[in-house]
Amino acid sequence: MNKSRRDFLKKAGMTLLGASGARFVILGIADAEHLPDSGGSGVRRRWAIAIDTEKCASQGDCTACIDACNAEHNIPRIDNPEEEIKWIWKERAKAVFPHQLGNDSPRTLRDREIPVLCNHCENPPCVRVCPTQATWKRDDGIVMMDQHRCIGCRYCIVGCPYGARSFNFRDPRRAIDKLRSDYPTRTRGVVEKCTLCAERLAIGAQPACVEACEATCGAMVFGDLANPDSAIGRLVRTTLTMRRKPELGTEPKVHYKL
Amino acid sequence: MYDGAKIITGLAVFGAMVTLPAWYGWAGGSHGDAPELAPPAHGEHCVESVEFMRSSHMQLLNQWRDQAIRRGSRSYRSSSGETYKISLTGTCLDCHQAKAEFCDRCHNYMGVQPTCWNCHVEPTGVKP
């Protein structure tokens, strides 16, 4: 044990370098094994919905989109507003756009009932707060929900500025009118929301709400915003559309034409 | 030791009694009334070999779950090169139609309670 200070410092330095290198290798492996966030397809898409509220309001009390969604996703019908589950529903325009519409705005506009749903934000706050990554943003922009991972902490409900998420306070199965087997229900104690019909997009179909709307008045347009030649790309680029609470910087992908 | 013979005899009897079920099964060469699963009426073979499915269907189902939901890829290429749609109720239960007959009997025997059916819906009554 006859080491000079010089030797000791050399070896200590080498050890430190080696350790930091190993750390990068370990982190790299951990990262590779991490669940990927891709949406599957190779093309980078940005799915979005545009809603013409005037056309929608012209249909009166039409609930085609809501009914289609409820049937498609085994959504329970719970009338108690504290426990209800909703993926898409109608809200007064004044409540949807509280900063844009005031008491002096046209009454027809203020009182218009317009469909609202998860905005599939570019910067989703719900994803930032989810402690288990049960909710995450796919490469194609869909803010997806993995019910297998949800622990029901409800941080995402607090995080969402649009109230687009619902919590299952009780077993939802008993409140489902017509149970369909090709889509799972949820269980008590998990959060759920619109997934932009990821399972339908996977087979090349449109979201259920948009399909149902097309059969009535066609107020909803669905498509790929990343493609400027798509119907929605042209619509959003040529008409003035609004998004909810833009001041929050969440960059919603549901556009409204008032 | 006082009464050593009695104590040791007692211990030996106790040990024999406690391990009796294991001895019984070992001597009889059977696993009690382990369920015998009948192959489904239609469908030639499962997505993977019977041995693999018996031992590792839970890992395969977890892999399917992650692949379909997290990666958005809903088709599975089996080791024999065939492609299957990833769907518990659509693919698995298309052949193994009765959950009570197929899933539950083994799970009850093994004393395991998977949570699949808390959410996934058994196709009974919806499909013929």
Residue ranges per structural domain of chain B:
56-86, 96-128
A63, A212 Cβ separation under 8 angstroms = no
Among the four given CATH numbers 3.40.50.300, 3.30.420.40, 3.30.70.20, 3.50.50.60, the one describing domain A47-257: 3.30.70.20
* Residue B66 with chain A: CB contacts under 8 Å: 35
Interchain pair A146, B69: CB under 8 A: yes
Q: How far apart are CA A85 and CA A79, in angstroms?
A: 9
**What is the distance in angstroms between the Cα of B85 and the nearest Cα belonging to chain A?**
11
pLDDT at A28: 56
Can you tell me the ipTM of this complex? 0.78
Q: Report how far apart, in Å, the C-alpha atoms of A104 and of each of A100, A101, A107, A110, B69 are.
A: 11, 8, 8, 9, 46
Interchain pair A182, B89: CB under 8 A: yes
**What is the distance in angstroms between the Cα of B55 and the nearest Cα belonging to chain A?**
22
Token code pair at residue A4: 């000079």
Does the beta carbon of A35 lie under 8 angstroms from any beta carbon of chain B?
Answer: yes
A232, A220 Cβ separation under 8 angstroms = no
* Residue A180 with chain B: CB contacts under 8 Å: 121, 126
Mean pLDDT of the A152-175 span: 96
Average pLDDT, chain A: 91
pLDDT at A37: 40
Mean pLDDT of the A194-202 span: 96
Q: How far apart are CA B62 and CA A6, in angstroms?
A: 55
pLDDT at B41: 80
Q: How far apart are CA A225 and CA A49, in angstroms?
A: 9
The answer, yes or no, to whether residue A237 has pLDDT greater than 50, is yes
**What is the distance in angstroms between the Cα of B60 and the nearest Cα belonging to chain A?**
15
A96, A119 Cβ separation under 8 angstroms = no
Interchain pair A147, B89: CB under 8 A: no
Higher per-residue confidence, B31 vs A246: A246
pLDDT lower than 70: segments of chain B: 30-32, 125-128
Mean pLDDT of the A229-256 span: 96
Q: How far apart are CA A84 and CA A168, in angstroms?
A: 8
The answer, yes or no, to whether residue A40 has pLDDT greater than 50, is no
pLDDT at B32: 67
Q: Give phi and psi for A223, each to the nearest 5.
A: 175, -170
DSSP string of chain A?
A: ----HHHHHHHHHHHHHHHHHHHHHHHHHHHHHSPP---SSSS---EEEEEEHHHHHTTSS--HHHHHHHHHTT------TTT---SEEEEEHHHHSTTT--TTS-HHHHT-EEEEE----SS-HHHHH-TT-SEEE-TTS-EEE-TTT-----HHHHH-TT---EE--S-GGGG-SS--TTS----TT-EE---TTHHHHTTTPPPHHHHHHHHHT--EEEEETT-TTSHHHHHHHHS--B-S-GGG----SEEEE-
What's the one-letter identity of residue A213?
Answer: C
Domain spans, chain A = 1-34, 47-257
What would the pLDDT profile of A90-122 be if each residue is shown by its tens digit?
Answer: 999 999 999 999 999 999 999 999 999 999 999
pLDDT at B77: 94
Pairing relationship of beta strands A88-92 and A113-117 according to DSSP bridges: antiparallel
Percent share of chain A, pLDDT over 90: 84
Token code pair at residue A181: 């087997």
**What is the distance in angstroms between the Cα of A35 and the nearest Cα belonging to chain B?**
7
pTM comes to 0.80
B86, B76 Cβ separation under 8 angstroms = yes
Using only the alpha carbons of chain B, give its radius of gyration: 22
What would the pLDDT profile of A55-70 be if each residue is shown by its tens digit?
Answer: 999 999 999 999 999 9
pLDDT at A29: 53
Mean pLDDT of the A133-144 span: 96
pLDDT at A42: 54
Q: How far apart are CA A172 and CA B32, in angstroms?
A: 39
Interchain pair A181, B73: CB under 8 A: no
Q: How far apart are CA B84 and CA B61, in angstroms?
A: 13
Mean pLDDT of the A178-187 span: 93
